[in-house]
Amino acid sequence: MAAEVDPGYFDPLAVDPEQARDVARWRTAERKRLREARRTLSSPRRKATGEALMTGLERLFAANSAGAGDGIVAFYWPIKDEPDLRSLMTEMQASGRRIALPLVETRAAPLVFRLWTPETRMERGHWNIPVPPRDAPEVMPDVVLAPLMGWDSEGYRLGYGGGYFDRTLAALSPRPFSIGVGLAAAQLPTIYPQSHDIPMDVILTERGIEVGG
């Protein structure tokens, strides 16, 4: 198993099928562990984490051209105890910024982004996640916020395993500024990055910017 072997042993291009299988099994186990740790957070702790993340995002946007002006910022709709950033979505939209949400409209394909406002009539999409309807304008985001299960010091993100964010970032040109959003306690020594993994430009936790910036 990957967790029991020196990370230097692993080929980041995953040319060895056995290594790739080991990494996949390790990631599955880590997702389960990290998901359970996040699920058991108290309501006050979860609320405080969300507030700290929104403050960190506001500071990041203020110090960086990303998310500024009329740029389109793609948030996410929280599921599975993810940090809830919806109040910041509303504030940014009210201040004149355009906000988008990702949709899985074709399985195993890049995500589609559609504009969102507080008045948007949401529908149930893939995994039963609320999403804008298909008649909402499709847009190309300048900034993408990606929820994460785990992260490492190289900026790599451990997601849910569907590969949608990596696939999307690889397909978009120009590539949007990417911000992985999650918990400080979800840091890993490495996620054993494979050839399809794309590092985030920034990893942001309740402690602030952990990677990039």
Binding positions for substrate: 82
Dihedral sign from CA coordinates of 174, 85, 70, 125: positive
Peptide bond into 133 cis (omega under 30): no
Closest CA to 110 of 21, 45, 19, 171: 171
Decide: helix, strand or coil at residue 100.
strand
- Structural contact between residues 95 and 117, judged by C-beta atoms closer than 8 angstroms: no
Structural tokens at position 147: 């929820």
Task: Please compute, for residue 53, the number of CA atoms within 13 A of its CA located in the half-sphere on the CB side.
Answer: 29
Which residues are part of a known binding site? 82
Q: If phi over 0 gives left and psi between -120 and 50 gives alpha, with beta otherwise, what is residue 31? A: alpha
Q: List, in sequence order, the alpha helices (H) in the chain.
A: 17-39, 43-63, 86-94, 164-171
Q: Under 8 Å CB-to-CB from 146, ≥6 apart: which residues?
A: 76, 157, 159, 165, 178, 179, 180, 181, 200
| Residue type present at position 133 | P
